[in-house]
Every structure is written in C-alpha cells, then in structure tokens.
Copies of this chain bind each other. A is one copy, B any other.
Amino acid sequence: MTSTDKPRATPQRQAILDTLNDVDDFRSAQEVHELLAAEGSGVGLATVYRTLALYADHGLVDVLRREDGEAIYRRCSDTHHHHLVCRSCGATVEVEGPAVERWTSAIAAEHGFSELSHTLEIVGTCADCRKG
C-alpha cells in the first residue's frame, strides 16, 4: 500500500504541497484546486487529485472524510494525532491521545489483531457556533 520510491519533483506538485502548507488545515482536492487557480496557477484538477493521492500514499498528507464523503487532505506532522471538528463551522483542533493509543492496542491484541491503524474523529459544536 505505502510505496517507497521517490516521486519525481515537478512545479505542480510543489505548488500543491505549498498550498497545503499555507492553509495549515484540511482542504478537499477541489478546494486546493480553487486556491491554486486563484493565485494564477493553471494546475489541472486531475493533477491535484493524483498528487494528493500520491502523497497520501507516501504518508506526507493525512486523509479524512467529511460527513458527506468528500475526501479532505492536510499536510501532517509526524506524530500521530486526532481531530476535533466543529460540525457547524468546520474548525479543527488537533489533539493527541496517548490514552486512546494504548486502549486500541490493548483491545486489538485481545482479539488477535495486528498491524493496527486507527481513525478517531470527534465531531461537535464549538463554543463560537453554540453562541451564534
């Protein structure tokens, strides 16, 4: 699944990574494409999809799914973390959870599972939106 050979460097790929770096937040492929177009880059939509999939495969970006199923990407830090997402405004807070890591490992071992990966998404309404 996770390939190891190095992707070729191209200006388009660089632009896509730069965009993700700049926003420092989750964005869909479509949104990345719009951002690029807004700053005059003519990177094609298909290229955005291919590049994001490529980097997700290489572990350079995190992939999540919105509630409607659309894939969203974010340049990720190295440590494993989870996300607290506001269902109303989409604000995200990155949280770490050693407790969760330990618990999942224990449960999995108990059932004979190995080579674990897990996804934890916490969705709620943030303080601002509750007031609003």
Contacts and interface: CB of A to CB of B under 8 A. Distances in A.
Contact of A97 (B70, B86, B107, B127): B107
B104 A113 contact: no
Given A86-B113, A100-B100, A117-B124, 9 more contacts: A99-B103, A104-B120, A104-B122, A112-B127, A113-B122, A114-B130, A115-B130, A118-B123, A119-B121
Q: How many copies does the complex hold?
A: 2
Interface of A: 1, 65, 69-71, 84, 86-87, 93, 95, 97, 99-100, 103-104, 107-108, 111-127, 130
A62 to B, nearest CB: 14
A49 to B, nearest CB: 13
